[in-house]
Amino acid sequence: MRLSPVPFGLSEVEALGRAERGQKPSTGSGKPFDRLRANGGFRGDDVRFAGYAAIFDRVDRGGDVVRAGAFGGVRAAGVPLLWQHGPGQVIGSVERLEEDARGLRVIGRVSARTAAGREAAAGLKAGALDGLSFGYRVREARGAGPRELLALELVEVSLVTHPMQDGARVIAVE
C-alpha cells in the first residue's frame, strides 16, 4: 500500500475502508518506497503510517467527546510526532492532517534516528503498536459528562500503547 504525502490518495481511502470493514490493515511490501529512497525522500529505516488520532462523536476514557470541526483547519506543519506523549520524545513528523467525517486523519513518519523512534517503528512493523492520541488545548467546550470539545488547538500527535479513544488507531503501515 502506498501512502502519498499530499493529498490523501486512493490508497488511504482503501485502507480506511478496510479498517472500517474490520479487515487487517496492510503493512505493504516496501516496493512503493523504492522511488522515494532513490531520491533521498526518506531513510530506509523510517516507517510511515496512516490512521486516526481522534474519532468524532465518541466518548473517550476521560469523559470527553470531540465534535467535527474542533480542529478548525489544522495544518501538519509544526505538529510534532511524539512517543507516548513525552515532550522530550520526538520520534518523527506529522506529514498530513485532515478532518473527515470520521475524525482527524493523520499520515506520519517515524524516524529510526532515536531509541524511542526505533522502538515505535519496530512496534508498528510488528503490528504490536497501533494506538494514536493527541495533545491539545481547549479553546471552546460545553457541558460535562460528557464534555463536548468544540474548538481545540492541536499541540502534538502521539503513537501510544493505550489511546484515550478506542478507535484512534493506526490503520496502515509502510
CA-CA distance, 37 to 59, in Å (whole number)? 41
- The residues that bridge with 89 in the sheet, in sequence order, are none
- The type of residue at 125 is K
CA angle 4, 54, 21 (to 5 degrees): 70
DSSP annotation of 6 reads S
Report percent pLDDT > 70 for the chain. Answer: 75
CA-CA distance, 145 to 157, in Å (whole number)? 25
Cell of 46: 523510517
169/24: higher pLDDT: 169
CATH of 10-173, one of 2.70.98, 3.90.320, 3.20.16, 3.10.310: 3.20.16
Strand ranges, E, within the chain: 47-55, 64-66, 80-83, 90-99, 103-110, 131-142, 147-160, 170-173
Q: What is the mean pLDDT of residues 41-66?
A: 89
Q: What is the pLDDT of residue 12?
A: 53
- The residues that bridge with 171 in the sheet, in sequence order, are none
11 sits in which H/E element: helix 10-20
- The residues that bridge with 133 in the sheet, in sequence order, are 158
Q: With 50 as the cut, is the pLDDT of residue 174 above it? A: yes
pLDDT single digits (tens) 129-150: 999 999 999 999 999 889 999 9
Of 55, 44, 120, which Cα lies nearest the Cα of 81?
120
Domains of the chain, residue spans: 10-173
